[in-house]
Amino acid sequence: MTLSIANLKAGYGKTEVLHDVSVPDIKGGAFVGLIGPNASGKSTLFKTLAGLVTPTAGSITIGGDDVTLLRRKDRAIRVAYMPQAYGCNALLSVFESVLLALKQTTGWRVEAENLDRVSDTLSALGLSHLADRGIADLSGGQAQMVAVAQTIVRAPEVILLDEPTSALDLHHQLSILTSIRNEMDCKKPVVMAALHDLNLAAKFCDRLVLLCEGTILADGPPQHILALPEIGWTYRVETDLEQTRRGVFYVDARLTG
Partner 1 sequence: MTIDVNPAKMRRAYVTQVSRRYGMIALVSGLLALSFFLDVATGPGKYELSIVFDVLTDPMSHGVRLKVIVWDYRLPVAITAALVGALLAVAGAQMQTILNNPLAEPFTLGVSAAASFGASLAIVLGVSVIPAVGPLLVTMNAFVFALFTCGFILLATRLKGVGSETMILFGIAIFFTFSALLALMQYMASEDQIARIVFWMMGSLSRASWEKITLGALLLAIAIPFSLLRTWPMTALRMGEATAESMGVDVGRLRVEMLICISLLAATAVSFVGTVGFVGLVGPHIARMLVGEDQRFFVPLSALVGALVLSLTSLISKSITPGIIYPIGIITSLIGVPVFISIILSTRKERLS
Q: Find the binder of partner 1 among 27, 73, 187, 236 (CB under 8 A).
A: 73
Among the listed residues 76, 125, 195, 226, the single contact to partner 1 using CB under 8 A: 76
Among positions 103-132, residues that touch partner 1 (CB under 8 A) are 103-105, 108, 110, 115-116, 118-120, 122-123, 126, 128-129, 131-132
68 is a site residue for partner 1 (CB under 8 A)? no
SS3 sequence of 31-75: EEEEECCCCCCHHHHHHHHHCCCCCCEEEEEECCEEHHHCCHHHH
Q: Is residue 139 within the footprint of partner 1 (CB under 8 A)?
A: no
Contact flag: residue 175 with partner 1 (CB under 8 A): no
User: Quick check: 77 binds partner 1 (CB under 8 A)?
Assistant: yes
Q: Could you say which residues in the range 202-241 bind partner 1, by CB under 8 A?
A: none
Instruction: In angstroms, give the least distance from the CB of 166 to partner 1.
Output: 15
d(C-alpha 7, C-alpha 202), whole Å: 26
Does position 44 bind partner 1 by CB under 8 A? no
Q: In this structure, are residues 212 and 234 in contact, taking their beta carbons and an 8 Å threshold?
A: yes
- The answer to whether residues 78 and 62 touch, using CB atoms and an 8 Å cutoff, is yes
CB-CB contact of 252 with 239 (8 Å): yes
Q: With binding defined as CB under 8 A, does residue 69 bind partner 1? A: no
Is-contact 94 130, C-beta < 8 A? Answer: yes
Q: Which stretch binds partner 1 (CB under 8 A): 17-25, 95-103, 190-198, 235-243?
A: 95-103
Regarding 140 and contact with partner 1 (CB under 8 A), the answer is: no
**Nearest distance, CB of residue 150 and partner 1, angstroms:** 7
In the chain, beta strands by DSSP E: 2-12, 15-27, 31-35, 57-62, 65-66, 79-82, 158-162, 190-194, 207-212, 215-220, 237-243, 249-255
Stretch that binds partner 1, among 86-94, 182-190, 225-233, 238-246 (CB under 8 A): 86-94
Nearer to partner 1, 99 or 205 (CB): 99
By CB under 8 A, residue 148 contacts partner 1? no
> Do residues 72 and 152 touch, judged by C-beta distance below 8 A?
no
CA atoms within 13 A on the CB side of 47: 16
Q: Is 81 in the site for partner 1 (CB under 8 A)?
A: yes
Instruction: With beta carbons less than 8 A apart as the criterion, state whether 97 and 150 touch.
Output: yes
Question: Which residues lie near partner 1 (CB under 8 A)?
Answer: 50, 52, 72-73, 75-77, 80-83, 86-88, 90-93, 95-97, 99-101, 103-105, 108, 110, 115-116, 118-120, 122-123, 126, 128-129, 131-132, 135, 147, 150
